[in-house]
Amino acid sequence: MPRTAVPVTTITRAGVAPPTETNGDATNQHVISNNGKVVLLARNAGSTVARTVTLRVRSTVDGQPVTPRTVSVPQSASRWIGPFPIDQYGTQLQVDVDNAELKLTALTF
């Protein structure tokens, strides 16, 4: 299955309304169009345990893949994550979540 796209909202000086969150999809996972300035807001809507966001790194070191970056989001909390340099994460940022309790919002400028 293709990954679930997370829409990216561009912040402007004129102002924008807060975008609608994308529900976490732990089966298909997610992809975000990345311009190198994208910032991800991950919100844990659950109130019992921390949840994990995994960011797939596209680069290699000496031909070896780099371990994905993980971010723990405490229960009932949010974490701002990013930006994601294109040379390391690519133009299609792959984001995995461990549970549907994670809600994702992507912003850029």
Beta strands in 1-109 (DSSP E): 4-5, 8-10, 22-23, 30-33, 39-44, 51-55, 60-61, 64-65, 69-73, 78-81, 92-97, 102-108
> Both tokens of residue 83?
């930006």
HSE (CB half, 13 Å, CA atoms) of 40?
Answer: 31
Maximum alpha-carbon separation in the chain: 45
In the chain, which residue ranges form alpha helices assigned H by DSSP?
Answer: 86-89
Mind listing the pLDDT tens digit for each residue in 54-91? 999 988 889 999 999 999 999 999 999 999 999 999 99
**pLDDT value of position 60:** 84
* Span 29-38, pLDDT tens digits: 999 999 999 9
Give 12-48 pLDDT, tens digit per residue.
999 999 999 999 999 999 999 999 999 999 999 999 9
Whether the CA torsion 82, 6, 71, 80 is positive or negative: it is: positive
In angstroms, rounded to a whole number, what is the distance separating the alpha carbons of residues 89 and 1? 21
The pTM of the whole model exceeds 0.85 = yes
Six token digits for residue 43: 């919100």
